[in-house]
Amino acid sequence: MNEQFNVIVIDDHPLFRKGVVQLLALDPRFVVVGEAASGAEGLVLVQEHNPDLVILDLNMKGMDGIATLRAMKELDIDSRIVMLTVSDQSADLVAAVRAGADGYLLKDMEPEEIVARLAEALDGQMAIPERLGRALALALREDDGSERNAMLASLTDREREILVCLAHGLSNKLVGRELGIAEGTVKVHVKSLLRKLSFRSRLEAAIWAVELGIK
């Protein structure tokens, strides 16, 4: 990625928040346009800047990360939202993804890996550590997916093609290249298929598609 991306960091631990800001400052792709110590402050900043990426802590006093995430999803923004937390509990992971998170990263990951995963999220890929991906897949498999499986029939041929691409971890750009359509058109189709399948994020849709064996 040669372009620059505006980022907002929301975390109620000032030292860690500053550390993330400093880490991102080392990479010319990221421009931090705001930082917040609470979910409420973060919502104001996100509405003001409509950033490309929001990095959001899970466990915060007052409005926690999940509540903040849900509130952001109700806004008219196009931001990618990635959780960055100490919790590797599958329940927290599943709750975040079902609330619409585009990624779920752990604070004990190596700084270089965090940056790499954030870049993947911006590129439309699944930003989640491999060790957590399995836990999420198992949780989705345990769902009563009969109604959602039936919804597959409502997808257009193009939307189904794109769902397959998501299952293979392709970014919007690569999906467009694979199918010979514009990246903007891919985004429109992704939003449509997520709505039809009642998913809040492409991450959840992708893992569900993999578990279902959609090819």
Residue 100 region by backbone torsions, left for phi larger than 0, else alpha for psi between -120 and 50, else beta: left
Q: How many CB atoms lie within 10 A of CB 91?
A: 10
pLDDT digits (tens, 9 = 90+) for 76-115: 788 999 999 999 888 898 889 888 898 999 999 999 999 9
Q: Place 168 in a pLDDT band, splitting at 50, 70 and 90.
A: confident
Q: Which among 89, 109, 100 has a CA at the least distance from the CA of 16?
A: 109
Confirm if 81 and 100 have CB atoms less than 8 A apart.
yes
- Range in 83-87, 99-103, 125-129, 175-179 with the lowest mean pLDDT: 125-129
Rounded distance, CA 12 to CA 57, Å? 8
The pLDDT-based confidence of 182 (bands split at 50, 70, 90) is very high
pTM: 0.80
At 35-81, the pLDDT tens digits run 999 999 999 999 999 999 999 999 999 999 999 999 998 887 889 99
Q: Tell me 153's DSSP state.
A: G
Read off the pLDDT band of 141 (50, 70, 90). Answer: low
